[in-house]
Homo-oligomer: A and B are copies of this chain.
Amino acid sequence: MAKERLYLYDTTLRDGQQTQGVQFSTSEKKQIAQALDGLGVDYIEGGWPGANPTDSAFFEEAPQTRATMTAFGMTKRAGRSAENDDVLAAVMNAGTPAVCLVGKSHDYHVTHALGITLEENLDNIRASVSHVVAQGREALFDAEHFFDGYKDNPDYALAACRAALESGARWVVLCDTNGGALPSEVKRIVSAVVNAGIPGEKLGIHTHNDTENAIACSLAAMEAGARQIQGTLNGLGERCGNANLTALIPTLLLKEPYASQFDTGVSLEALAGMTRISRMLDDILNRVPVRQAAYVGASAFAHKAGLHASAILKDPSTYEHIEPDKVGNARVIPMSNQAGQSNLRKRLTDAGLSVEKGDPALVRILERIKAREAEGYSYDTAQASFELLARNELGQLPEFFEVKRYKVTVERRKNKYNRMVSLSEAVVVVKVDGEKRLSVSESLDDTGSDRGPVNALARALSKDLGRYSAQLEDMRLVDFKVRITQGGTEAVTRVIIDSEDSQGHRWSTVGVSPNIIDASFEALLDAIRWKLVHDGRAGQADAV
């Protein structure tokens, strides 16, 4: 049976930009557009030309794409012609091959929000769409609040869709603007629309995640006949976000019955870049990637339960619904005290350490991890500390240097302007190549503000490590997480430090102590040791 074509419409650059706290720059928009084009979506909605300077600039400099670049706007306002509507003109002037205009399909919104008659609104839709078509562009009509509108007044909601289609719109997109529609409802209403004579090949679906059903609503609309799906990367978007294409596309390509039924513009090769694209977007937004994200999250194929982990080793399909590398992700068997020797060997291999099956070091490493976890350590995320622990047991960890002692002081008192200010100072004494070295550092930053004792310690520690100092210059502490946990019978502090360097490595280390400064210092030491172990090993897999 021939497959049907299903179209993917990305609105990361428009609705995604409505996410609270998100504001793309023009160059970021270009970078995202290129990634989307490489992925193979059919349409890229670049923004609303004229609504803000960034969107206008993006269309001026928009990259050449295989995908149809689309400008977003709204139908013309009442009381003027489409040709004379300056808002619409700005959209047209972006010169994109496709234009998507949002308009009302819910009678209540027409009369209450716009304050015009129902017929005037239909005229606005017709005139606007005709204008787009007359200019030789592909026209899309976003039927705002379609599902609520259909529930209140199905005839009017359908009339709005027909007005657009009869004026030459390629697509009518059924929008669940407030995110309140549920999957069964979407299926029922889209089926009714198709039964009312509007062909599914002209219907798109635009959902929001306000009930955590944006993907399910998209699938429901598709099952009822819609052939265009709108969404965003990582589910960005107004309020709770839009349908998450990062999760939806793998489902469409890899899961039945969809995989056999539909063709999209995304190839299986491009799909294998999905995890990378998702992380790239988080990078641009300076967000910590969501570990539990479907398909692309760092935990999406992490098997923590003891029962699962042992079965996975026999046959991964037992607890995985797809193979992780199909989306560019990887299986993770977290190192916990339940994990067995084969898990351990897999994790050592990931860290570039190959150990023979049956090597007695495996037992020692497992026992060491168990003992450390009982003390409050956690190697779930602190892969670099795990690697150092293993290297130590395997005799593959040089000593580099020895810390003889340290002292850190924080003092808070009034300065000469009678303002309370703080000053942190750390003294670290190390022995490198048989030679004792004392270093002292404060922790004032460029603005004269005190960054605290951990910063002072980090500076003092890396200040004079003899022949190693140069290697630490490009290293920096990027995150610092602290939590109180149980270590044996007492409460201890667990510190996780994320570090990175100019070669693009990023690694996590852990320290535990009842004393937060000691715990931080231990994590710092591991971070430095990992860097010294790996320095110069370009191309080696990262340890986070």
Chain A positions near chain B (C-beta within 8 angstroms)? 18-21, 23, 25, 51, 74, 109, 112-113, 145, 177-180, 182-184, 209-213, 215-216, 219-220, 223, 235, 238-241, 244, 247-248, 250-251, 255, 286, 288, 290-295, 297-308, 311, 314-315, 318-322, 332, 334, 378, 380-381, 404-414, 420, 422, 424, 443, 445, 449-454, 479-486, 490, 493, 513-518, 521
Q: Which residues of B contact A422 (CB under 8 A)?
A: 513, 515, 517-518
Residue of B nearest to A290 (CB): B290
Contact present for B219 and A182 (CB under 8 Å):
yes
Given contacts A210-B321, A216-B216, A294-B240, contact A414 B405 (CB under 8 A): yes
> Can you report 28 residue pairs joining A to B where beta carbons are below 8 Å apart?
A20-B291, A20-B298, A20-B381, A21-B378, A177-B319, A184-B219, A210-B300, A212-B247, A213-B251, A240-B292, A240-B294, A240-B300, A288-B288, A290-B290, A405-B411, A405-B413, A406-B411, A406-B412, A407-B413, A408-B410, A410-B453, A410-B518, A412-B518, A422-B515, A422-B517, A454-B516, A482-B482, A482-B483
With most chain B CB atoms within 10 A of its CB, the pick from A180, A321, A450 is A321
Interchain CB contact under 8 A, B211 and A215: yes
Q: Rank and list the top 8 A-B pairs by shortest CB-CB distance, nearest first.
A: A180-B321, A216-B216, A452-B515, A482-B482, A405-B413, A20-B299, A212-B247, A410-B517
Q: Which residues of B contact A452 (CB under 8 A)?
A: 493, 513-518
Specify which chain B residues have a CB less than 8 angstroms from the CB of A517 in the assembled complex: 410, 422, 424, 452-453
B-side contacts of A290, CB under 8 Å: 290
B411 and A239 contacting across the interface, CB-CB below 8 Å: no
Considering only CB atoms, which chain B residue lies closest to A521 in the complex?
B412
Please name 13 further chain A to chain B contacts, defined as beta carbons within 8 Å, in addition to the given A19-B292, A239-B299, A410-B515, sorted by A numbering.
Answer: A20-B304, A23-B485, A178-B319, A180-B255, A183-B220, A211-B255, A212-B294, A238-B305, A241-B292, A424-B517, A445-B514, A452-B493, A453-B516
**Contact check: which of B25, B112, B303 meets A239 at CB < 8 Å?**
B303
Name the residue of chain B whose CB is nearest to the CB of A336: B23
Contacts A18-B304, A334-B20, A514-B450 hold; do A212 and B412 have CB atoms under 8 A apart?
no
Instruction: Give complex CA distance A145, B180 in Å.
Output: 31
Docked CA distance A189–B513 (Å) = 52
- Residue from the list B381, B412, B451 in contact with A407, Cβ < 8 A: B412
Instruction: Name which of A443, A480, A515 has the most chain B CB atoms within 10 A of its CB.
Output: A515
Given A411-B406, A484-B480, A516-B453, residue A299 in contact with residue B19 (CB < 8 A): yes
Residues of B within 8 A of A247 (CB): 211-212
**Bound-state Cα–Cα, A180 to B111, Å:** 45
Contacts A409-B407, A410-B407, A518-B452 given; does A239 touch B302 at CB 8 Å: yes
Q: Which residues of B contact A178 (CB under 8 A)?
A: 318-321
Tell me if B239 and A292 are in contact (CB < 8 A): yes
- Cβ-defined partner of A212 (8 Å) among B51, B179, B244, B450: B244
Residues in B with CB closer than 8 Å to A449 are 490, 514
A250 contacts across to B, CB distance below 8 A: 211
**A124 → chain B, closest Cβ, in Å?**
15
Which of B412, B413, B481, B490 meets A484, CB within 8 Å?
B481
Which B residues are CB-close (under 8 A) to A521?
412
Q: How far is the CB of A478 from chain B (nearest CB, A)?
A: 9
Quick one: given A21-B291, A209-B292, are A182 and B255 in contact (CB under 8 Å)?
yes
Min CB distance A525 to B, Å, is: 11
Give A416 Cβ to nearest chain B Cβ, in Å: 14
Query: Which residue from chain B places its CB closest to the CB of A322 in the assembled complex?
Result: B180
